Structure 1
């Protein structure tokens, strides 16, 4: 319990540093897209890997009414997950999913493959790594910023024993800047943020002692 609380505190600190600066909105400019439409793959994960994003699910009583955080289409799957894991908490999952969203974006933009490998399943990681390699070949550097997350809502959920999968739609503002290896601006602006709508699916083996959820599919609206 103490370790989980400490991890939650670390997640909160991460969000405080990265998610709440305000740069404004805009209607469109180019930014490098995340890999999309990756086939889901629920891999077995080793327990005790603290580097993976911890989606906290400590308290059994939600602090936010479930109807506020997931669609009716996800209700059946969410009930199955809650019945399978009595410690699962919907609102704490949403908090952790938002933290993981920021961490994965940051790692992808920086080209940090080690962090991505611990946060994603094999298929998602390989797709991200291929985009990073292509970017490095072109000599491009991203200086993107996640300005804020405007909303995060569970749109789908399923439980196929022992694997649970939860799909979250993130509505966020992202400022995108691309530079060449000499630091010259290629495109974008940190003073002009774009509205982004991502659909990410997280998975976890509920029979495992490992409390971490990993990203196993990405898409966009």
Structure 2
């Protein structure tokens, strides 16, 4: 199982200052997008795009798992408190929306569609994506991404931080990701299907009129 994120690997700094402190208990010290199609800053300021292991054998039938944490667990109890503060919140419906956002964000990043990305990301994450898209365009590279199926989407962690809620979702997906240079040569990723594991943190101000849970950080699973 590959533990990257299937587009260029993006290291995302947590949203400046207090967001770093607020999310550290949920995400730990290591944050960022880790997948072939997303850009990851290297020590020299460049981008690296590692590939992932290929899924071998015949295609498996579609499968999808989206279990909700049991009410007696720590995560389940936190979700219950979020539901008390956020009218209409339901973990199962949240996972529906998180999976839809996952698909839109991954594909919009590959396409360089900043207009589609902006409402789905926190400002700090959007700035990172915007820079990555600009660098890819300047290099004359094109990204191909196809989400073949999402195998699993589960809530790993949940946190209430004042009036903010953070929910960490683990996505296991089968994807096809590769990058071509100006000459059309594949320079990163693979045309074969790869299994990817990602941990995405979604954030929302509870009680706000805007119902959107925005992507605040991500890391490999």
Both proteins in one fold, TM over 0.5: yes
Name the stretch that deviates more: 69-78 or 27-36.
Answer: 27-36
Give 1:162 shift: 1.9
Mapping of 1:1-20 within 5 angstroms? none
Match for residue 205 of structure 2? 205
> What is the deviation of 1:168?
0.4
Counterparts of 2:3 and 2:78 in 1: how far apart (Å)? Answer: 36
Taking the aligned partners of 1:205 and 1:161, their CA distance within structure 2 comes to: 9
Asked if structure 2 preserves the Cα contact closer than 8 Å seen for 1:149 and 1:172, the reply is yes
Q: Name the CA shift for 1:164/1:28 in 2 (closer, same or farther; >3 Å).
A: closer
Cα deviation digits, residues 64-118 of structure 1 (max 9, x gap)? xxx9323734223212101112411111110110000000001110111121111
Does the alignment pair 1:68 with 2:67? Answer: yes
**Counterparts of 1:69 and 1:31 in 2: how far apart (Å)?**
25
Change in CA separation of 1:36 and 1:186 when aligned onto 2, cut-off 3 Å: closer
CA–CA separation in structure 2 for the residues paired with 1:207 and 1:82: 10
Aligned 8 A contact 1:30 1:187 in 2: no
Q: Is 1:35 the counterpart of 2:34 in the alignment?
A: no
Count residues in correspondence.
171
* 1:161 aligned partner: 162
> Does the aligned pair in 2 maintain the 1:157–1:164 contact within 8 Å?
yes
| TM-score under structure 1 length normalisation | 0.69
1:86-101 mapped onto 2 (5 Å cutoff): 86-101=87-102
Q: Per the alignment, do residues 80 and 165 of structure 1 end up closer, same or farther by CA in structure 2, a change over 3 Å counting? A: same
- Offset at residue 137 of structure 1 (A): 2.2
Q: How far apart, in 2, do the equivalents of 1:182 and 1:120 lie?
A: 32
Listed as ranges, the gaps of 5+ residues in structure 2 are 21-65
Q: Is the 8 A contact 1:80 1:158 kept in 2?
A: no
Give the distance between the partners of 1:178 and 1:122, measured in 2 at CA: 26
Contact (CA 8 Å) 2:7, 2:178: kept in 1 or not? no
Q: Is residue 194 of structure 1 aligned with residue 194 of structure 2?
A: yes
Deviation at 1:136, TM superposition (A): 1.7
Mapped partners of 1:210, 1:38: distance in 2:
24
Please name the residue that 1:104 is paired with: 105
- Paired residue for 1:14? none
Retained in 2: the 8 A contact 1:140–1:181? yes
Higher helix share: 1
User: Judging changes above 3 Å, is the alpha-carbon distance between structure 1 residues 166 and 187 closer, same or farther for their aligned structure 2 residues?
Assistant: closer
